[in-house]
Amino acid sequence: MEAVLAELETALGRGFNRPELLVRALTHRSLANERVASEQVLNGQIFASGMEEAAEAGDNERLEFLGDAVLGLVVAEALFLTHTEWQEGELTRVRAQLVSRKHMAEVAAAIGLGGHLRLSRGEDKSGLRRKMTVLSNTMEAVLGALFLDGGLEPVRAFVRRWVMGEAVEQLARELRSGAALGNYKSALQEHLQAARAGAPVYRVKSESGPDHRKRFLVEVRLKSAEGEPGKQLARGMGSTKKNAEQDAARRALERLTAAGIKVGSLEALQPEAGEEEPAAQ
């Protein structure tokens, strides 16, 4: 256990004075409940409720609550101090993206947090350690443990390196471009409306993978004023149709920006590499 914790502590940038805090932050309620159930069987005891026993076994939900609050504070502080030109609305929008479930799951994946989760056998086999919600919640619990063990400074250091970093610059660029932060579909629609080029239309091209790990390929095309789907703008992939549409919109925005597409010049946009020019409709 110590060797495993040492690996994670390196990624977190701090060795814990109270390693039991980190162990609890990594403990999903399924494992706590599993242990309570095992103890009940072994002791031959019957309880009206397993809530108190689960708490004693030590799951990470209370630490998650604390970590969520600490994360919001540290991110807000950093944005307030480093972006003095932003008003309340801009600060709020960027903070929301940085502390979002999606972004925190990405941070958790970047430091390999999933491999350290302590789950019940059943949930481990089900692939729970790869779920976005579980990863983001556990990341918040770890930040709560980091705060209790060392105060705000180690949390600040971790947030600067992993939570903010390049993500803040990307969000700042989106703010300057007028993009709707994180909502690429809205941003693409606004871009095309400003160019009087029509509206985007999304179509699912294919689905792959088992039910619990679906992958969707979505194509976004330009819908002309006449209502007929026209030029292909981009394709995107995602675990849901919604995510795939956002990915397609993001790619389309990047291509339009890189090509310097202006009003009336969408004909200059070439098909994506490896894809044929869409047939006329």
Catalytic positions are 68, 140
Contacts of 81 (CB under 8 A, 6+ apart): none
> In 157-196, which positions are buried (b, 16+ CB within 10 angstroms) versus exposed (e)?
bbbbebbbeebbeebbebeeeebebbbbbebbbebbeeee
CA dist., res. 121 & res. 55, Å (int): 19
Nearest to 51 by CA among 63, 61, 65, 66: 61
Strand runs (DSSP E) across the chain, as ranges?
Answer: 199-208, 215-223, 229-238
The three-state secondary structure class of 278 is: coil
